Amino acid sequence: MGYKVVVAGATGNVGREMLNILAEREFPVDEIVALASRKSLGTEVSFGDKTLKCKDLDTFDFTGWDIALFAIGSDATKIYAPKAAGAGCIVIDNSSLYRYDPDVPLIVPEVNAHAIMGYARKNIIANPNCSTAQMVVALKPLHDRATIKRVVVSTYQSVSGAGKEGMDELWNQTKAIYNPTDNVPPSKFPKQIAFNVIPHIDVFLDSGETKEEWKMVAETKKILDPKIKVTATCVRVPVFVGHSEAINIEFEEFLDWQEAQDILREAPGIMLIDKREPGGYITPIECVGEFATYVSRVRQDSTIENGLSLWCVSDNLRKGAALNAVQIAELLGSKVLKKG
């Protein structure tokens, strides 16, 4: 016996990836439905070797469905998540709407699987921000060993984090640079993204941080440990898929870089690729389509008493969004629903 699963936002980058990963990981599905807005009614999406026609999210009845994976943005989630949850369908939401709600668990299964039981308060589970998800997977086993005091992270985030429009803008601007008759001014991004980097993701706050930077701080505290101090600088780079992060960590106790490598090598969800030679590290183009969070460049930071630096890369459409949501569904199945 399997589950009745809803994927809402099935025509977007993340929604399509959710369907792909459910099929790839052979999630025990008895019945599955793809939902989208009315303008996408009838659009065909793939689920393994099957083709699904999208139904209208606005008129869909969630009664009798087990799990709904939401990839529809905060505004639509505000309307439809309570409807689904109220009908007894457990919502796993990829938007930022519920991440900071104390009654909604924010889950990365490798890090805080124990928090899953909190779903019952609202029948909703939140999926974290893409840049936070991969970082906490890398931090968790190190924190368990030596207790992290402070994290300084700089991100190099791909345009797919801004959706299809972001990917199209990079593609069209890149082509235009080689064709002087074309002009593709910025529209999705505030400045040209092709052959450039933009130190600005999401809106600016009064503190001078961007919302993306604030999210990494707040979510790391909620998922991993409220005592950890985090400061982030989030940068958009001209890469189609795959977020990279340079992470500097200060610990309570000394942790040797070789022991850190050993810990990371054995940690769930992590692939360590770390040879101190040209090409002995991972780059975003190599992580596309992969499930793992990759770690490279593990080294001592001699400028602080107990410091390490490392490089972390992951497919943001997978671990940063769709894969994590499916892993939450798997956790929900094994710990709560117990059907599959």
Q: Which residues are catalytic?
A: 130, 243
Supply the DSSP symbol for 198.
B
Residue with tokens 């190099």: 156
3-state SS class at 156: strand
What the block records as the tokens of 258 is 């070789």
3-class DSSP state for residue 197?
coil
Contact call for residues 282 and 292 (beta carbons, < 8 A): no
Is the Cβ–Cβ distance between 311 and 114 less than 8 Å?
Answer: no
Residue type, 209: E
Catalogue the E-assigned strands of the chain.
Answer: 3-8, 29-36, 44-47, 50-53, 55-56, 67-70, 90-93, 124-126, 148-157, 229-236, 243-251, 270-272, 293-301, 307-314
10 Å Cβ neighbour count for 113? 16
Query: Nearest-CA neighbor of 111 among 267, 254, 243?
Result: 267
